[in-house]
Structure 1
Amino acid sequence: MDILKIGKYLLIPFAVLISFVPVLDPFNAFSNLRNNSFDIFQNISPRKSLASDSVIILDINEDSINAIGQWPWPRSTLAELVDKTRLSAVLGFDVVFAENDRTGSKELKKLYKKNELLLSALDKVPNNDDIFADSIRNHGTVVLGAIPSNKEINKSFNLKFGLIEQGDNPRNFLPSYKGIQTNLLSLDNAAKGIGSMSIGTNDSIIRKLPLFENANDTLVPSLPLEILRVAIGATTFQIKSSNASGENAFGEKTGINHVKLGSLIIPTNQDGSVWIHYLNQPIKTIPIIDILDAKYSEEFFDGKILIVGTSAPGLFDLRSTPLENNIPGVSIIANLTDQILSGQFLKRPDWIFGLEIVTGLVLSLLITFSIQFSGPIGGLILFLFGNCLSFAGSFYVFNNLNYLIDPISPFLICLIAYLVVTFFNFFFTELERSKVRNAFSQYMSPVMVEKLAKSSESLKLGGERKEMTFLFSDIRGFTSISEKYKEDPEALTDLINNLLTVLSNEILNNEGTIDKYMGDCIMAFWNAPADDPNHRVKAIDAAFAMSEALEKLNKDLNRSDEDLLSVGIGINTGECIVGNMGSNKRFDYTVLGDSVNLASRLEGQSGNYGMQIILGKESIKNLDKHSYRIFELDMIAVKGKIEPVSIFTVFKNFNNQDANYNFSSEHTEFLKNYRSQNWAKAKEHIEKYRFSIPEFTLYYSLFLERIDDLSNQKLPEDWSGVFIAKTK
């Protein structure tokens, strides 16, 4: 089947699949962008008006701190604040009093244990914490803060409310903690309510707050929710989750649907949190020093919802919201408290996410078809028009219906679809032209292909002198292997193609250029056309990779031990002529030179020496001896040559047993004894290592035969140990 003909139609299912990327939400990218879009909506259209003027912040501001002293203040001062606001409907503290008053008599006694006169006097002084607790109790509607913790502290605390749970267990959906940091027991017992001050799972911007949290299986209401419970005189919360009567559950764990408090019904997200719709005006704030200085009468606070918090930067309770940066955390609590009273809630039901996916799917399909029939410009027009409608519709329902519909997910789905479809349209159009380039890449390195593509001068006849590294590989025993395929030449062709493919891939992966194929033999080179200072290393690494690839191919083809395919490789480095050679009408980029021929001869000798890889002396220059184990094998005059050359082999993973630790130096000594005609010493080394070092078994067997033959001959005194090869 022609991929060029069906390629464009394959883009349609791609457009469908890309629509589901928001479900995966890689790196939380879609979630973050979605939140940013909701932030923009809030900035454009914040909540317009207060539910009432009853919510007031009592501020521990810098003026109050300057007048009263550094925080924490004496509890007797806070008791005075509680007393002066005794007519309020509720007094909530966005503060935790977990430790004794540092100025109280109990703490002073610890500091002056040996001063009996002072201790006696302190016994007569009322303790500040007790004074504060009495004021809280007398007030009757004070709510204290608490902080959920992942430390196992205060695993249980005194609940001040009743709880009705309908449907699935809400604990399965709520943020969970091991414990909770509460106040001194005397203060908790005196308070009418205790609420969590946690900001939940928000990032640096507070967009929503949890109404409940799960602290060691105990449901803890948020501070705004508990403040409202006490303010309206309710005693019970009702949590309605999925699978409750009248509530749909489309999945196994859909989540919490709403919380009911008296006549107030608060719709929630699945995790029990509420989106905060921030006001476009500040909530009334009174510095605490003004109350203590009696600038406000007690009657002023009659029926008010008062929340104590701090705006002082030094107390580190500054937060960021979609509308502002660095605002007091107590302002967020006050905003949510007022929002619940107003009954104006931002809603994002489960079905909205599905709507966003469907919107993105429909638009991406329309854009795909538009590009196919009208080109990129037609697709771009539809992309812009469709997403403008999506953004406008999302803002309309936010502003008028308080629904949070994300325009970013459909936009990104369409953007990805548009870019990818446009790209592949161009790709499929240009694919025919690239066939020539692909054909070159089958036997040339990518660098060579690019050079030929960029410069027409590269296609002219001629060459240059250059040091290069050459590799020849040949499948051992391939003639006998071929005989087994006499009756099935197609299978032999498949085998050759498989062999050449896996071996060629490793050469190309190591930036080599394949010069030519000669039956089952491959000729390749490095350091041309582009310079490569690591050409020796890359050629050797290619040889190792070819060996590993062949092992894998043997396993994939399930070849028996007697029928395994093995490769011999010769590598040499030296000067040659490299360039385009041939006729004016037909030429190849190839190499010529004596160094090239030597590489071919070394490959032919690899089987004789029982080694997979044989290298010329120039190929081991500057190699990292820690990365490779290199051994000299012999001095040989290859067939057709008079001048001898030293040949070597190389291993990446060699036998490293402790017993063979000195093998390398002893092998060098063996060659010295052999060349000195010290046959006894040489044979002693062979007997020691011939079978204990399996990599050298065939090699030492060869030398044992040579020694037996040479020891019966009268050799000249200046005999250097050079072996004259009779075969290629």
Structure 2
Amino acid sequence: MTKLLTSMWAACITSLLLVILYLSNPTLIQKVRLSTFDYYQTFGTNYESKSLVLLDISDAALKKQGQWPWKRDIVGRTIVNAYRNGAALVFLNVVFVHKDRLGGDETFLKMIGKYPVILTETKDAKNLISIKRKALAVGNVEVPIDIDGTIRKLPLKNSVPEVILKVIQFKNKAKDNIWIDFRHTIPRIDYTDKDWSSMKGKIVFIGTTFKGSTFVLTPNGLKNTHEIMAISTETLLSKKFITRPKWTPYVEFSLLFATLILTIIFIPRLGVWTSILPFSIYAILVALSSTILWSRYMILTDWLIPSAIVFIVFAHLIYNNFHRENRLKLQIKKQFEHYLAPAMVKKLQQNPSLLKLGGERKVLTFLFSDIRGFTPISEKYKGQPERLTRYVNRFLTAMTDIILKNGGTIDKYMGDCIMAFWNAPLDNPNHKRLAVKSAIEMVRKLKIMNRNHEFKPPVNIGIGINTGECLVGNMGSKQRFDYSVIGDAVNTASRLESISKNYDATIIISENTCKGTDYIPNSRDKGFRFYKLDNVKVKGKTEKITIFSIQNL
């Protein structure tokens, strides 16, 4: 298990799974990304508004005027008092859905007719028609709540900030949604304060802040609706907008993917300690680029999640390097301590490159099996790769079970093709018979599966078997090697499978395999009934070889 987990493939699978997780964008990743964006707003200058002011109806105000909702003529007097203290414009964050039970509507209408006020509405809560007609304008205060329950953006269309900018004839450069810059702070006046003079020449946002009022979560803590509207308006007035351009996710993913590829390629080639340098450079570059994009252009970039993914893969590869170096030293000592002097063993441990990959010469029997007419089958499942995969896997599984049951070694799968051999790694004097026996059982098994309609369309195969000398052992690259075979006899078996479709035979067997494997037809009741097919010249051979097949499959 440790060997599997510390392999290069394990690192590749880890990277692939992390990339899939990143692209699937689950709730956790969305929340982490949004938290990263919130972190940006802890940097930079905090701007105090010079154009806006909040007028809070607090708990102290309720003690003075009584429980909420107030009689509307009191609300009206609040608007009047704001204008008398020099307010340039008043926004009231109250929706008047029903008539005043205390009978203050008539006075209120007269007041807002003389002193203009911007009111608010939502799609579910509308003002009385009589009040709406008297209001200077009506704006929407609804804002989307992100997946973590936090408000960060404002849809501009028909919003209170957009309405205010239209009223004051301020040219708005923003379009669609904006990111609210919560670094803006708005001065506050409490309703019970005696001095309201600080609102002179400013836009006043009136709203409730007493216990039980509506508070919503923002990157800068809990805030009331009228404060959010004020901060959004100040964001628009500043003409400096937080942005996350459409290209940023693509650039982030491209850089992540490229970094993972480079990490997987180069880190395994480095030592444990020297491999720390590339990651340090990566971390510095990410930090610098994110900082520059934010400080100069107010562009939000998601640096945390890609960095975390790269770090996980990097840590995996570093552990692999550490494990590989130690495992190789132990392996060299174990394999050579009884055959070489201690000084030579130590030299090999210090320089494993002195070891060369290779194997041993041995006579093996090889079997190649392939689905006939696989291209039309692939076309039948065009656009349904999952079904084609299940189709091929069902075939490979059934054939593999037979080969393994008869002591064969699966060398590899090549699409729909199986390559197997006998007599290695364990010696087996009956390797010829077992290979032929496997081929017969494979054909019979397929007949049963086709008869049971397990394959649509039915599967027909070709099998080629040959026996000969080859080189068998650990073969591959310096970084990765597998137990496999190489030699002319292997190629001949593959060629025999290829020409099986030219004959009315499923199994093509070379003379080398038939010799010593019940060669004479009907020699025993349980013997294989071989019959000669032809003398052929296969691709890559200058001389003809005699090929056989089997009767009564």
Letter aligned with residue 180 of structure 2: I
Query: Equivalent residues in 2 for 1:521-600 (5 A)?
Result: 557-559=449-451
Cα drift, residue 295 of structure 1: 3.8
Letter in 2 for 1:147: T
1:205 aligns with 150
2:298 counterpart residue number: 402
Query: Does residue 264 of the first structure (1) align with residue 172 of the second (2)?
Result: yes
Aligned-pair distance for 1:330? Answer: 2.3
1:145 maps to which residue? 120
Matching residue's letter, 2:449: L
Q: Judging changes above 3 Å, is the alpha-carbon distance between structure 1 residues 359 and 56 closer, same or farther for their aligned structure 2 residues?
A: same
Tell me how far 1:55 sits from its aligned partner.
Answer: 0.2
The whole-number CA distance in structure 2 between the counterparts of 1:97 and 1:423 is 65
Residues 555 and 181 from structure 1, CA distance in 2 versus in 1: closer, same or farther, beyond 3 angstroms? Answer: farther
1:63-82 equivalences in 2 (<5 Å): 63-82=60-79
Verify: 1:289 aligned to 2:192, yes or no.
yes
TM-superposed CA distance for 1:16, in Å, is: 7.4
- Partner in structure 2 of residue 342 of structure 1: 238
Contact 1:146 1:195 in 2 (8 A): yes
Decide whether aligned partners of structure 1 residues 559 and 96 sit closer, same or farther in structure 2, where only a CA change above 3 A counts: same
Name stretches of at least 5 consecutive residues in structure 1 with no aligned partner. 105-127, 149-179, 213-220, 235-261, 435-492, 502-552, 562-728
Question: Residue 329 of structure 1 aligns with which residue?
Answer: 225
Q: Secondary structure at the match of 1:289?
A: coil
Question: Structure 2 matches for 1:229-628, cutoff 5 A?
Answer: 229-230=166-167, 232=168, 234=169, 262-266=170-174, 268=175, 272-279=176-183, 282-290=185-193, 295-296=195-196, 301-315=199-213, 317-323=214-220, 325-422=221-318, 497=402, 557-559=449-451
Question: What pairs with 1:137-216 in structure 2 (closer than 5 Å)?
Answer: 137-140=113-116, 142-148=117-123, 180-202=124-146, 203-212=148-157
Cα contact 1:8–1:425 (8 A) shared by 2 = no
Q: Distance in 2 between matches of 1:402 and 1:556?
A: 68
Q: Structure 1's 374 and 182: CA in aligned 2 closer, same or farther, altered over 3 A?
A: same
Change (3 A) 1:421 1:264: same
2:205–2:227 contact (8 Å) kept in structure 1: no
* CA drift at 1:19: 4.6
State the percentage of identical aligned residues. 26
Q: Tell me by how many angstroms 1:364 deviates.
A: 2.0
User: Is the CA contact 2:138–2:163 (under 8 Å) kept in the aligned structure 1?
Assistant: yes
SS where residue 47 of structure 2 aligns?
coil
Per-residue deviation at 1:14? Answer: 7.4
Question: What are structure 2's unaligned runs of at least 5 residues?
Answer: 332-397, 407-444, 454-553
Which string of whole-angstrom CA distances, capped at 9 and with x for unpartnered residues, describes residues 36-57 of structure 1? 1122221132x4323x522011
The correspondence of residues 632-711 of structure 1 with structure 2, limited to 5 A, is none
- Could you tell me which amino acid in structure 2 is paired with residue 340 of structure 1? L
Structure 1 residues 223 and 560, CA gap change in structure 2 (3 angstroms): closer
Shift of 1:75: 0.2
Cα 1:302–1:361 change in 2 (3 A) is same
Kindly indicate whether residue 162 of structure 2 is the aligned counterpart of residue 225 of structure 1: yes
Structure 2 match to 1:695 = none
Partner of 1:130: 106
Is the CA contact 1:130–1:186 (under 8 Å) kept in the aligned structure 2?
no
Structure 1 counterpart of 2:93 = 94
Residue by residue over 1:541-579, the C-alpha shift from the partner in whole angstroms, topping out at 9 and shown as x without a partner, is xxxxxxxxxxxx899723469xxxxxxxxxxxxxxxxxx
Alpha-carbon distance in 1 for matches of 2:199, 2:109: 21
1:398 is paired with a residue whose SS is: helix
Per-residue CA deviations over 1:592-634 (Å, capped at 9, x if unaligned) read xxxxxxxxxxxxxxxxxxxxxxxxxxxxxxxxxxxxxxxxxxx
Amino acid at match of 1:24: S
The partner residue of 1:48 within 22, 46, 49 is 46
| Residue 130 of structure 1, CA deviation | 2.3
Distance 1:16 1:362, change over 3 A: farther
Q: How many residues align?
A: 342
Shift of 1:386: 0.8
TM-score when scaled to structure 1? 0.42
| Distance in structure 2 (CA, Å) of the matches to 1:264 and 1:210 | 14
The Cα of 1:61 is off from its aligned counterpart by 0.9
Change beyond 3 A, Cα 1:62–1:15? same
Report the Cα offset of residue 186 of structure 1: 1.2
Gap change, CA 1:137 and 1:375, over 3 Å in 2: farther
Name the SS of the counterpart of 1:84 in structure 2.
helix
**Corresponding residue SS for 2:173:** strand
Q: Say if 1:60 and 1:312, in contact at 8 Å, map to a contact too.
A: yes
Amino acid at match of 2:171: S
Partner secondary structure for residue 244 of structure 2: coil
Superposition deviation, residue 286 in structure 1: 1.2
Q: What do you get for the CA RMSD once the two structures are aligned?
A: 3.7
Is the contact between residue 211 and residue 273 of structure 1 (CA under 8 Å) also seen in structure 2?
yes
**For residues 339 and 69 of structure 1, what CA distance do their matches in structure 2 show?**
35
Determine if contact 1:97/1:183 at 8 Å carries over to the other structure. Answer: yes
The equivalent residue for 2:57 is: 60
Structure 2 SS opposite 1:557: helix
After superposition, the C-alpha distances for 1:8-66 in whole angstroms (9 at most, x for unaligned) are 489669757855643321x2333221211122221132x4323x522011111111111
Which residue of 1 is the match for residue 495 of structure 2?
none
